[in-house]
Structure 1
Amino acid sequence: MMDAFDRFGLLINDRVVRTPVAIASMAGIVDADYVLERAEHIGLAFIGGYSIDRPTMDAAQSVASSGDRREFICDDPVTELQAQNAKMEKSDVVLGVNLRGSSPEAFRVIAQALGSAIVYEIDAHCRQPEMIAAGCGEYYLKNTEKLLTVVRELKNEGVTVSVKIRAGVANDDRALAKKLWGAGADILHVDLMDFGTAKLRQIRNSCPLMLIANNSINTFERMKDMLSHGADIISLARQSDSRTLAGLDAAITRYADEDGWYNAPKQLCRGGDIRSLTFCCMPVKECPLIPTLARINLPREDYIRMKMEGVKGTPLDDGKQTCFGSLAWCCKTSSPCMFRNMTLKQVGLSNKEYMRLKRDLSDTIMGRVFHDVSTDKRS
């Protein structure tokens, strides 16, 4: 599993996520058996959704009785989820449970029964009228203070919290992402609907949470597009068949082994998110860098100092023949540059190693931006 960590750098609950391909929950369909049949090609899976209190259990019964949708129907959700968890214990797949509850207490009961080894995903995504009337699903996106309360209560149990949302339902997805981060959420699982990468980039620029992108991501090109705009992981639901999952897993593994940074952002001048500051040059000309630094309240001098300190003692500190005297200011390997390539050859640094070092620098920048810089406006 260490190879997978070196390749992707993904950890959840101190467990290596072997590939950034996940299965999203589908009520009445995705359970432990469904996941285990596909375990070879995924790193993370959310079973469920499971209704965990009387209002949502009644709603599930009503939805199922219509015949249009399947649901997981059980009178004792604790026992059912313990049984599902037990089936997954020997699997390398990191397990998450997607929960439909109408009160913080309902989520606390499940967390106390199952412990801290799994991810608890609050379903703020379901749009069935019965579920919304029961006080869960999209109800939480219109009543965000109640959602934040559930996040806080779960975090008080010392567990990892994911929130599954549908983009475009809340008044402002960027503001919601910030609030969820502030409340203690660890993962934001976003059904992008028809919004695409622009929405994902906005959310990435609003919080440092692990981001899972969802909705029709069933080709490698679509997957790469999501990863390059801020996603850490992509998830599939209806098309989570073994063939599609295997293809995505193989393609992203091959790409990571060749490139060195599996979800490297596009460059800022080409629509990249905040992570792409790692590829930006000195702030000496009018380009997207200048307004970006202003939006995140990062003075130019601090930006320069941050990058120079971030590469000190690393091979990126070299590069006297580059435009600004250090590889800290050089762009992605996908962009042709004679001076960068010449320097890499001189210092004996491969393109893959260079991109990994740029990823490390990006992590430093993200920590500085989100933990040291106060801001209310990112886009």
Structure 2
Amino acid sequence: MNRVRLAAASLSGESDSQWAETAAPYVDAAFLGGVALDDASREAARELAARGRTEFLPEDPLAFVDAELGRLVDAPLRVGVNVRSATVSPIRSAGVVCADHDAILEINAHCRQDELCAVGCGEALLSDTDRLCRHVAAAADIGATVSVKVRTEVPGVDLPETARRVADAGATMLHVDAMDSEHVVGDVAAAVGDDLYLVANNGVRDAASVGEYVEYGADAVSVGRPSDDPRVLKRVRAAVDEWFGADGADEPDGSDEPEVSA
């Protein structure tokens, strides 16, 4: 079993099972999505698509998630699904699907598009810690492994405190888009210790960017926009292996870090 040290981060309307299979030779995990689940988030996604943004808008989002995860049953990586919802019930339902596939449910508290924020998704969810924790608990309580995707530099958000709160609610992973504020990764790492597995995102391209995040305390890194570029993934994979060892096993035995099949 190998620990997750390098992930491919979700790209709106692009990160599907085929994308994950292409990235699989280089990464330990891949996050599909984002997938809008409820009526409000789906309407926002339709508005985004109308102005040219790629979006997943299947007729039945839960069936779509189930089918996409099924296509990756034999893939040599841990799979996650980034989901958006303004309401709690669809998060619970998506958690059931993810738990059935041993996949990570990643709650999107990250997107900053006006259409999504207006209905309470993305940054708006990040700014409402109580509601975010209800989303986390809904999935965690039915046995899903829960990640929360967040970004730094959101006005009024104390990210280390938010990280502590979502850990208490049942999240086991925090996926941080550092937004040119890499030091915040260190602040979050200091706040949560071993309570959350910390994945750092934004500008991960080479040994220098990997090393900066690891030195700030990240347990893993993820590649976003160039996740479909094998040249970048190969370079980052080499850097990750140099930092953590080819098997990622620099942590004591018994660690609760997410694992992937060999």
In the superposition, the TM-score normalised over structure 1's length comes to 0.63
2:221 counterpart letter in structure 1: I
2:56 counterpart letter in structure 1: F
Distance 1:257 1:112, change over 3 A: closer
Alignment of 1:62 with 2:47, yes or no, is yes
Q: How does 1:195-344 map to 2 (within 5 A)?
A: 195-196=181-182, 198-207=183-192, 208=194, 209-240=196-227, 241-257=229-245
Q: Which has the higher strand share?
A: 2
Shift of 1:133: 1.2
Give the Cα separation in 2 of the matches to 1:103 and 1:257. Answer: 41
Q: Which has the larger radius of gyration?
A: 1
Tell me how large the CA RMSD over aligned residues is: 1.9
1:187 alignment partner in structure 2:
173
2:260 alignment partner in structure 1:
none
1:113 alignment partner in structure 2:
97
Q: 1:216-262: CA deviations, max 9, x gaps? A: 1111111011112111110111121111111221233244449x988
| 3-state secondary structure, aligned to 1:136 | coil
Give the Cα separation in 2 of the matches to 1:47 and 1:72. Answer: 10
| Correspondence for 1:71 among 38, 55, 59 | 55
Contact preservation (8 Å) 2:116, 2:122: yes
Q: How does 1:352-371 map to 2 (within 5 A)?
A: 359-360=251-252
Contact preservation (8 Å) 1:164, 1:191: yes
Q: Equivalent pairs: percent with the same residue?
A: 32
1:160 alignment partner in structure 2:
145
1:246 counterpart letter in structure 2: K
Shift of 1:201: 0.9
1:40 alignment partner in structure 2:
25
Shift of 1:171: 2.3
Contact preservation (8 Å) 2:211, 2:243: no
2:163 counterpart letter in structure 1: A
Give the Cα separation in 2 of the matches to 1:179 and 1:110. Answer: 21
Give the Cα separation in 1 of the matches to 2:174 and 2:244. Answer: 23
2:108 counterpart letter in structure 1: D
Between the two proteins, the alignment pairs up a number of residues equal to 249
Alignment of 1:171 with 2:148, yes or no, is no
1:271 alignment partner in structure 2:
none
Q: 1:45-77: CA deviations, max 9, x gaps? A: 10000001111111111100012x111111200
Give the Cα separation in 2 of the matches to 1:48 and 1:127. Answer: 15
2:65 alignment partner in structure 1:
81
1:146 alignment partner in structure 2:
131
1:220 counterpart letter in structure 2: A
| 3-state secondary structure, aligned to 1:206 | helix
Shift of 1:141: 1.5
1:83 counterpart letter in structure 2: A
Distance 1:247 1:149, change over 3 A: same
Contact preservation (8 Å) 2:83, 2:108: yes
Contact preservation (8 Å) 1:21, 1:245: no
1:77 counterpart letter in structure 2: P
1:213 counterpart letter in structure 2: A
- Which of 1 and 2 has higher RCO (CA within 8 Å, sep 6+)? 2
Distance 1:254 1:173, change over 3 A: closer
Shift of 1:114: 4.0
2:115 alignment partner in structure 1:
130
| 3-state secondary structure, aligned to 1:171 | coil
Q: Which moved more, 1:108-117 or 1:226-235?
A: 108-117
2:77 alignment partner in structure 1:
93
1:103 alignment partner in structure 2:
87
Distance 1:140 1:222, change over 3 A: same
Q: 1:326-363: CA deviations, max 9, x gaps? A: xxxxxxxxxxxxxxxxxxxxxxxxxxxxxx5xx549x8
Give the Cα separation in 1 of the matches to 2:139 and 2:8. Answer: 22
